[in-house]
Amino acid sequence: MSRYDLRGRQELEDRIRKTVDPEQGRIPMFVYTDPDVYALELERLFGRTWLFLGHISEIPNPGSFVVRTMGEESVIVGRGDDSVVRVFLNACRHRGMRLACEDFGETTMWRCPYHGFTYGSKGDFLGTFMGAPFEKVAYPEGLDRDSLHLLEARCETYRGLIFATWAKDGPSLEEHLGDVRWYLDLIVGRAEMEVVGVPEKWVVPTNWRLPAENFASDAYHTATAHSFLSRLGMVKGVDFGRDGYHIDPGGGHGLGVGVHFDDESYFPAELREEYERNLDAGQLATLARLKNMHGNVFPNFTFLIPNFIEIEGRRVTGAMLRVWQPAGPNRTQVWAWHLVERDAPEWWKKLGRRMYTQTFSSSGMFDQDDTENWEAQTRTSDAALYRPEEFDLHYAMGLGVPPLPESEFPGPGDVYDGKFSESAARSYYRVWRDHLLEDGR
Ligand SMILES: [Fe+2]
């Protein structure tokens, strides 16, 4: 029986309530690929929470737009002729056909390819002779133009990051992000950033949550899954992912900050002045010691400063953003953006592109390792749906370990000494469970 009926829904909610137990470090396997859990996520998570859609540098001019996805719905992220950024459901109000069929572009209006209904850059159905072909003949009594306005999501930006939500009320973007903003500043707020090229997209046969929680909370896997870095002599020892801090900033967000013990910052001296203009003293001190940072904004927006590696005798890293776009319970479309400081020296830009291609991208060495794990976990979960007994996974690392006193680290949130912990993953699943069980009606 499908769980779309009310009784089935109730059974599913009861099972989630009973078995998803991050407080004890236990997560049941079925939640990864059960189609009914996925349906509940689309409704209660992706239909309501703030979702990352792109960077402001992707739509620089009035009329620029990109096409993105919220949950499984296509949306247009466009800068109107008044320069305001808006997000619309990419669907004509007449019969629901997609208005924008390209990935990005520049336009003064969207014209539906099916019957020709036409909308302006603010989502308004255009005036007579422009809105619908042969309007006077086809609709002699006229059209109610207001009711044909494109469906519009609530859109806000933070430091150039564009987010939207279908929730008409509820928390602002700043409230949703909370303390993770302090850490986002280190990657996208330290300077004026721009996206290099266009985002890369590829499909991985995994549930979307496995990569999200990996970036939020899992520095532990680097010693095994990515040990090649050490074997190729690119880093010293396989424990390069251990030194630093595991951070739970609240809200289901999570991150790890890796630090080095050298005197000098690894970031280019040419950019120091711009960093000083944009960051506070605590953020500058953190950036000066930083050798990597990985994190996830709940639910599916990942940010990453990969571990610095040496290319052509220079230490180099990148600023990377990801979205784990759900495309079914066991299928994810990966979106990957690579950003760089607009006024960076040429060597940093050039070597950063090579860093991106080699490490975290569709051709990246790290992605080859990670993808194999996520695919196999997803297959395990698919198969476990038919097990007679519940199959729990173990999320207990660092359970009961207290966070550091506030004086030990300048950033906000619960900060744990050393990156090997699963505290942020437990918080992720607490917030995830609360969203799924909140009926909201
Ligand atoms: Fe990894």
- For residue 189, the model assigns a pLDDT of 98
Cα dihedral: 368, 372, 374, 376 (round 10): 170
Ligand 1 center–CA 367 separation, angstroms: 7
| Percent of the chain scoring above 90 in pLDDT | 88
At 1, the pLDDT band (50, 70, 90 cuts) reads very low
Using CA atoms, how far apart are residues 131 and 407, in angstroms rounded to an integer? Answer: 61
For the stretch 159-181, pLDDT in tens is: 999 999 999 999 999 999 999 99
Ligand 1 center–CA 371 separation, angstroms: 8
For the stretch 411-424, pLDDT in tens is: 999 999 999 999 99
Ligand 1 center–CA 238 separation, angstroms: 13
**Structural contact between residues 198 and 103, judged by C-beta atoms closer than 8 angstroms:** yes
Domain with CATH 3.90.380.10 in the chain: 178-437
CA angle in degrees (0–180, nearest 5) for 46-385-201: 40
For the stretch 205-252, pLDDT in tens is: 999 999 999 999 999 999 999 988 788 887 777 777 789 999 999 999
Q: Name the residue with tokens 């992706």.
A: 46
CA dihedral sign, ordered 318, 230, 408, 272: negative
Ligand 1 center–CA 62 separation, angstroms: 39
- For residue 197, the model assigns a pLDDT of 94
For residues 368 and 188, the model is more confident at: 188
Ligand 1 center–CA 203 separation, angstroms: 17
For domain 178-437, the CATH superfamily is Naphthalene 1,2-dioxygenase Alpha Subunit; Chain A, domain 1 (3.90.380.10)
Ligand 1 center–CA 375 separation, angstroms: 13
- For residue 159, the model assigns a pLDDT of 98
For residues 441 and 406, the model is more confident at: 406
At 97, the pLDDT band (50, 70, 90 cuts) reads very high
Ligand 1 center–CA 382 separation, angstroms: 22
Question: What is the 3 state secondary structure string of the chain?
Answer: CCCCCHHHHHHHHHHHHHHCEHHHCEEECHHHHCHHHHHHHHHHHHCCCCEEEEEHHHCCCCCEEEEEEECCEEEEEEECCCCCEEEEECCCCCCCCCCCCCCEEECCEEECCCCCCEEECCCCECCCCCCCCCHHHHCCCCCCCHHHCCCEEEEEEECCEEEEECCCCCCCHHHHHCCHHHHHHHHHHCCCEEECCCCEEEEECCCCHHHHHHHHHCCCCHHHHCCHHHHCCCCCCCCCCCCEEEEECCCCCEEEEEECCCCCCCCCHHHHHHHHHHCCHHHHHHHHHEEEEEEEECCCEEEEECCCEEECCEEECCEEEEEEEECCCCCEEEEEEEEEECCCCHHHHHHHHHHHHHCCCCCCHHHHHHHHHHHHHHHHHHHHCCCCCCCEEECCCCCCCCCCCHHHCCCCCEEEEECCCCHHHHHHHHHHHHHHHCCCC
Average pLDDT over residues 14-34: 96
- For residue 234, the model assigns a pLDDT of 76
Average pLDDT over residues 85-99: 97
- For residue 2, the model assigns a pLDDT of 52
- Residue 22 CB partners (closer than 8 Å, separation 6+): 395, 425, 426, 427, 428, 429, 430, 433
For the stretch 323-375, pLDDT in tens is: 999 999 999 999 999 999 999 999 999 999 999 999 999 988 898 899 999 99
Ligand 1 center–CA 226 separation, angstroms: 7
- For residue 131, the model assigns a pLDDT of 86
- For residue 441, the model assigns a pLDDT of 44
Strand partners, 165: 154
Q: For all residues of the chain together, what is the average pLDDT?
A: 94
Longest pairwise C-alpha distance within the chain:
77
CA 171 to chain centre: 18
Average pLDDT over residues 312-326: 96
- For residue 4, the model assigns a pLDDT of 63
Average pLDDT over residues 61-77: 98
Quick check: 275 pLDDT over 70? yes
- For residue 24, the model assigns a pLDDT of 97
Domain with CATH 2.102.10.10 in the chain: 52-165
Ligand 1 center–CA 441 separation, angstroms: 39
Q: Does domain 52-165 fall into CATH 2.102.10.10?
A: yes
Ligand 1 center–CA 206 separation, angstroms: 14
Identify residue 264 by its one-letter amino acid code: E
